[in-house]
Structure 1
Amino acid sequence: MGKFTKLVGVAGVVTGAAYLSKSENRRKVQGQLNKAIKRLNSSYVKNLGKPSNIDDAEMVDEGAITSVRYYNKLQEKFQSK
């Protein structure tokens, strides 16, 4: 099965190289990639880490403070021993 997979991979690379040898095809592929990147940036990447609800943001902030306080108490406990 390993030889077959390599053969299919090499065939794919050769086919891709042959397709991209024409400048018209390269422009088509580049245009499609640019569209995909633009779509990705506009919908997914801009909304990462930004809660839409302010209550959610406050809850995350409170949770972070709680875990930091717990960690600090543990550190004080171990340093005093």
Structure 2
Amino acid sequence: MKKRTKLIIGAGLAAGVLYASKTENRQFVIGQVADTINKWTDDDYIINLGKPENVRDANMVDEGAMTSVQFYYDLRDKANKVS
């Protein structure tokens, strides 16, 4: 039973990798995920999560700079107050 499960999971992963190897298929899947997120939430903070406009700020957040983290928390709070 365990071998069959591992085989099925492996086949599914291989099929997913083959499907995602084409750029248009990848873009389609990314678009579908974005549409699903938009259907489930209308919070701008969640929709734009991980898509900062300023690359320097994105790098600082990636490195864990607390000032940038505080900046994004402030943006989230401001967006919640407006809604």
What TM-score do the two structures reach when normalised by structure 1?
0.51
Which aligned runs of 4 or more in structure 1 are off by greater than 3 angstroms? none
1:10 CA displacement = 0.3
Per-residue deviation, residues 14-71 of structure 1 (Å, max 9, x unmatched): 00000000000001000000000011113xxxxxxxxxxxxxxxxxxxxxxxxxxxxx
Residue 26 of structure 2 corresponds to 26
Greater helix content? 1
- Aligned partner of 2:35 in structure 1 is 35
Gaps spanning 5+ residues in structure 2: where?
A: 43-83
State the aligned residue count: 43
- The CA deviation at 1:7 is 0.1
| Structure 1 gap segments, 5+ residues each | 43-81
Structure of greater relative contact order (alpha carbons < 8 Å, 6+ residues apart): 2
| SS at structure 1 position matched to 2:18 | helix
Identity %: 43
Higher gyration radius (CA) = 1
Structure 2 partner of 1:17 = 17
